[in-house]
Amino acid sequence: MENFLGVNRVAFKIGEFEVYWYGIIICAAILTAIFVDCLYCKKKGYPTDLPLTIALVILPTGILSARLFSVLFEPGLSMADYFNFRTGGLSIIGGIIGGGLGLLVYCLIKKRKNAFELFDTLCVVLLLAMAIGRWGNFFNSEVYGQVIDSSSYFARFPFAVEIDGVFYQALFFYESCANLLGFVIMTFIFLYSKQTGFATAFFLIYYGTVRSILEPLRQSQYVLKLAGIPMSQLMSFFMIAVGVGVLIYAIYKTTKAKGLKNEQK
């Protein structure tokens, strides 16, 4: 029940019920993202309760989809394990898909003319939440990569983790740093871009690229596959393609809007 550095995975107990550090970190990531998003919305002139509305929409669909993605493609899991969340198995890619679809349905029901306003508001802090949340993998001793030479400078925490005397790439740390950098960049895009859709496009392209690079480095037991095809990597490429499409659409809308203004002059 201990992680890479000998820290117990269980934070505390309530009777016989064990509360894991993983769950605490995920909750902290979600609450931090909502708080930061409220500040950003205030600066943008959006309703400050907008992040709360988005969270209420995407969390149920995101969690259910994250679990579904895992039980469908993770070896050793089946649909019979779906509701046994405490055994592990939540896919970030699956969560993004489910959360995105949930928010899209919400926009359709509410007949919002510019759904990208909500998607931008979500995406700007999603990388922050994932940067924090990845440390849950540290406490669970999971999501590590290939073997590193013990004599290498990088054969030390947090660049590497040691398991039974062997050092492995700390992929959770690499992705956490990449996500944090992406969050900083997205902050400027969201706060200072007047055109909606740019933040959403950047998120899809950026995170899709990060995952497509890191996914092949994973240990095989953490790779979700279907008929030998790594599904997370495949979906990463799909995210990049969708992001490029969103970017082209956003640029087109911006160009068209400028053209109309020039005609009116």
Tens digits of residue pLDDT in 82-110: 887 777 778 899 999 999 999 999 999 98
Distance CA 144, CA 132 (A): 16
Contact 197, 120 (CB under 8 A): yes
pLDDT in the model for residue 262: 54
pLDDT in the model for residue 184: 96
- What percent of the chain has a predicted confidence (pLDDT) above 70? 94
SS3 70: helix
pLDDT in the model for residue 73: 86
Claim: this prediction has a pTM higher than 0.85: yes
Give me the mean pLDDT over the 242-262 stretch: 79
Model confidence band, residue 163 (pLDDT cutoffs 50, 70, 90): confident
Sequence letter at residue 94: G
Residues whose CB falls within 8 Å of the CB of residue 125, separated by 6 or more in sequence, listed in order = 33, 34, 36, 37, 40, 51, 183
For residue 10, the surrounding DSSP H or E stretch is strand 10-14
Pick the closest to residue 103 from 55, 151, 138 (CA basis).
Answer: 55
Give me the mean pLDDT over the 215-244 stretch: 88
Pick the closest to residue 189 from 201, 198, 177 (CA basis).
Answer: 198
Distance CA 77, CA 240 (A): 28
Give start and end residues of each alpha helix (H) in the chain: 21-44, 50-73, 92-110, 115-133, 135-139, 171-192, 198-214, 231-264
pLDDT in the model for residue 3: 62
Diameter of the chain by CA atoms?
72
Pick the closest to residue 250 from 190, 209, 188 (CA basis).
Answer: 190
Preceding amide of 60 cis, omega within 30: no
Mean pLDDT in the chain?
Answer: 88
Structure tokens belonging to residue 101: 């679809």
